[in-house]
C-alpha cells in the first residue's frame, strides 16, 4: 500500500500557509525540505529547558545537553551504519564537510603533480574546494563527464585514474538532474586502483537508505536541512584510518588535548575536527529528524516519491514545448525543465504568484548548464508530503504561463 502523504502533512504547519491568498505548493525540496513539529519541538525544548555548552561542564544542564548531542551522533552512526560513532563528525553542512576533507586530507595526501577527480554533475560545493586545493598544491583537477541523458560515463574512469590520482569526489544523486549514480560500482573501481572516494549524499539521505560499510565509502557528507532537520548542521563520515591520519582543519577549544606555547597536542576523534562550541542543539534536532524519517520508513518514502516522479514526468511530457533536462533511467524525484520561449525566471516568478514554489537558475551546477548550452532551468523537486493534486496544480500553472506567452501546450 502506497504511503499516504495526508497522514504526515499536518506535521508541517508551513504546508497550510497561504501565499498571495493561494494554498502553498512547495516543490523546492532539493534546496531545503520543510521541518516537522516533531523536530522543532525538540529544538524549543532544549533551548528552553536544557541549554548549556557541552563537554566542558559538570553541572546538570551541560550534562543533559552533552548527552543529547552524543545520542544524536549515535543516531547518525546507526542511520548510515558507520562502524564507529567517532567516525561521525558534526559540521555546519555538506559544504563545510567537503571543505574539511579538501583541506585536511589535501594537506596530508596531495602533493604537486597529483590528481583529484570530480564529476561534471557536481554541485559547486564539491568542485570549488577541490579547485582551491589543486591551485594551492599545484595539483590537477580532472572531470568525469556525463552523457546527454544525465548519466555518468563511468566507462571513462579507467582512462581518468592514474597512479597520481589521490581522491575521487562524486555525488550520489544530482541535485539538478535527479540522476542516481552507481556509487558502489564507482567506489569498487576506484578502490581497485587504490583511490579513496568521497560521496556527496546531500541529495540521497532523504530518499535512500545509506550503508557506508556496504558501500565501503571512505568519506560521506550530508546536510540536516535536506533531511527534514535544522539548518546549519551537517555530517562528515570518514573512515577511522583516514581521520586519524588527517590533521585538524580548524584550531580552538575542544579539539585540543594539551596546549602550551611550545606545542599543542590534539584531541581524539571525533573532537579533533569539532573546534569550538559545536552546534549541539541543531545536532540534537538532526537526531530527531532521523527518528522522524525512520518512523515512516525510507523504503516507503522512496517508493511514494517514485510514484510522484512518474506521475509528474508523464504530465510534463505531454507539453510539446517543454524539455526535461535529466532523463536518466535511474532518477529520484527531481525534474528540471525549460519551456521554449519562456525564461526560467519568468516561469518561476509567475508560478510563485500562484502559490507554487519552484527553484530557478543554475542550482549551483553551472557546469551542468554549460553541458546543455543553457543558462538555467526551472526545478520541481518532490518530497513524501507532496501530493499528485499539487502536481496537477503545477501542470495547470505551467499551462497558464504558456498561454500568457503564446506558447502551445498541446
- Band of pLDDT at residue 81, cut at 50, 70 and 90: very high
User: Per the structure block, which three cell numbers stand in for 253?
Assistant: 577549544
How much is the pLDDT for 77?
Answer: 98
- Band of pLDDT at residue 361, cut at 50, 70 and 90: very high
What fold characterizes domain 5-30+297-405?
Answer: 3.90.1150
Residue 384 phi/psi, 5-degree rounding, is -65, -20
- Band of pLDDT at residue 56, cut at 50, 70 and 90: confident
Query: Are 369 and 376 in contact, with CB atoms under 8 Å apart?
Result: yes
Q: Where are the domains of the chain?
A: 5-30+297-405, 39-294
User: Per the structure block, which three cell numbers stand in for 56?
Assistant: 566542558
Please state, in angstroms and rounded to a whole number, the distance separating the CA atoms of residues 73 and 84.
10
- The answer to whether 364 is a known catalytic residue is yes
**CATH class held by domain 39-294:** alpha beta
CA proximity to 91, closest of 217, 238, 212, 199 = 238
Among 55-69, 89-103, 115-129, 369-383, name the one with the lowest average pLDDT.
55-69
Quickly tell me which residue has 563520515 as its cell.
Answer: 237
104-139 pLDDT per residue, tens: 999 999 999 999 999 999 999 999 999 999 999 999
DSSP assignment string, 319-377? STTEEEE---SSB-SEEEEEETTB-HHHHHHHHHHTTEE-EEE-TT-HHHHHHHT-S-E
- Band of pLDDT at residue 1, cut at 50, 70 and 90: low
The total of other beta-carbon atoms located within 10 Å of residue 363's CB is 23
- Band of pLDDT at residue 44, cut at 50, 70 and 90: very high
Please state, in angstroms and rounded to a whole number, the distance separating the CA atoms of residues 195 and 67.
37
Residue from 108, 134, 364, 402 carrying the catalytic annotation: 364
Please state, in angstroms and rounded to a whole number, the distance separating the CA atoms of residues 187 and 215.
7
Looking at every residue in the chain, the average pLDDT score rounds to 97
Q: Is the pLDDT of residue 2 over 90?
A: no
Residue 398 DSSP code: H
* Cα separation values, 281 from 32, 232, 284, Å: 19, 10, 5
How much is the pLDDT for 409?
Answer: 85
Domains 5-30+297-405 and 39-294 share a fold: no
Amino acid at each position: 500500500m502506497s504511503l499516504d502523504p495526508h497522514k504526515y502533512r499536518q506535521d508541517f504547519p508551513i504546508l497550510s500557509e497561504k501565499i498571495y491568498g493561494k494554498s502553498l505548493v512547495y516543490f523546492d525540496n532539493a534546496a531545503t525540505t520543510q521541518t516537522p513539529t516533531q523536530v522543532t519541538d525538540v529544538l524549543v525544548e532544549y533551548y528552553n529547558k536544557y541549554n548549556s555548552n557541552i563537554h566542558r561542564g559538570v553541572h546538570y544542564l551541560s550534562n543533559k545537553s552533552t548527552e543529547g548531542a552524543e545520542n544524536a551522533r549515535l543516531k547518525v552512526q546507526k542511520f548510515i551504519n558507520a562502524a564507529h560513532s567517532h567516525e561521525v563528525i558534526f559540521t555546519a553542512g555538506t559544504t563545510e564537510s567537503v571543505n574539511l576533507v579538501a583541506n585536511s586530507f589535501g594537506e596530508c595526501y596531495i602533493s604537486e603533480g597529483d590528481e583529484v577527480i570530480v564529476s561534471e554533475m557536481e554541485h559547486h560545493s564539491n568542485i570549488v574546494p577541490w579547485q582551491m586545493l589543486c591551485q594551492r598544491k599545484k595539483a590537477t583537477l580532472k572531470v568525469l563527464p556525463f552523457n546527454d541523458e544525465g548519466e555518468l560515463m563511468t566507462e571513462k574512469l579507467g582512462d581518468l585514474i592514474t597512479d597520481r590520482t589521490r581522491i575521487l569526489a562524486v555525488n550520489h544523486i544530482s541535485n539538478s538532474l535527479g540522476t542516481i549514480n552507481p556509487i558502489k560500482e564507482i567506489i569498487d573501481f576506484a578502490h581497485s586502483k587504490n583511490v579513496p572516494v568521497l560521496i556527496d549524499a546531500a541529495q540521497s539521505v532523504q530518499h535512500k537508505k545509506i550503508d557506508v560499510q556496504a558501500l565501503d565509502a571512505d568519506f560521506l557528507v550530508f546536510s540536516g536541512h535536506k533531511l527534514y532537520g535544522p539548518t546549519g548542521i551537517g555530517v562528515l563520515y570518514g573512515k577511522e584510518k583516514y581521520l586519524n591520519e588527517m590533521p585538524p582543519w580548524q584550531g580552538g577549544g575542544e579539539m585540543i588535548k594539551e596546549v602550551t606555547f611550545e606545542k599543542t597536542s590534539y584531541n581524539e576523534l571525533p573532537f579533533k575536527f569539532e573546534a569550538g562550541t559545536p552546534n549541539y542543539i541543531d545536532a540534537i534536532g538532526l537526531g530527531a529528524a532521523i527518528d522522524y524519517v525512520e518512523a515512516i520508513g525510507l523504503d516507503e518514502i522512496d517508493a511514494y516519491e517514485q510514484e510522484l516522479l512518474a506521475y509528474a514526468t508523464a504530465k510534463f511530457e505531454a507539453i510539446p514545448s517543454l524539455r526535461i533536462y535529466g532523463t536518466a533511467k535511474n532518477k529520484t524525484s527531481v525534474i528540471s525543465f525549460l519551456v521554449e520561449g519562456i525564461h526560467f525566471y519568468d516561469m518561476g516568478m509567475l508560478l510563485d504568484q500562484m502559490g507554487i514554489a519552484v527553484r530557478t537558475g543554475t542550482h549551483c551546477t553551472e557546469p551542468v548548464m554549460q553541458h546543455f548550452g543553457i543558462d538555467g532551468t526551472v526545478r520541481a523537486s518532490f518530497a513524501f508530503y507532496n501530493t499528485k493534486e499539487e502536481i496537477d496544480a503545477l501542470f495547470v500553472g505551467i499551462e497558464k504561463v504558456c498561454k500568457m506567452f503564446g506558447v502551445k501546450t498541446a
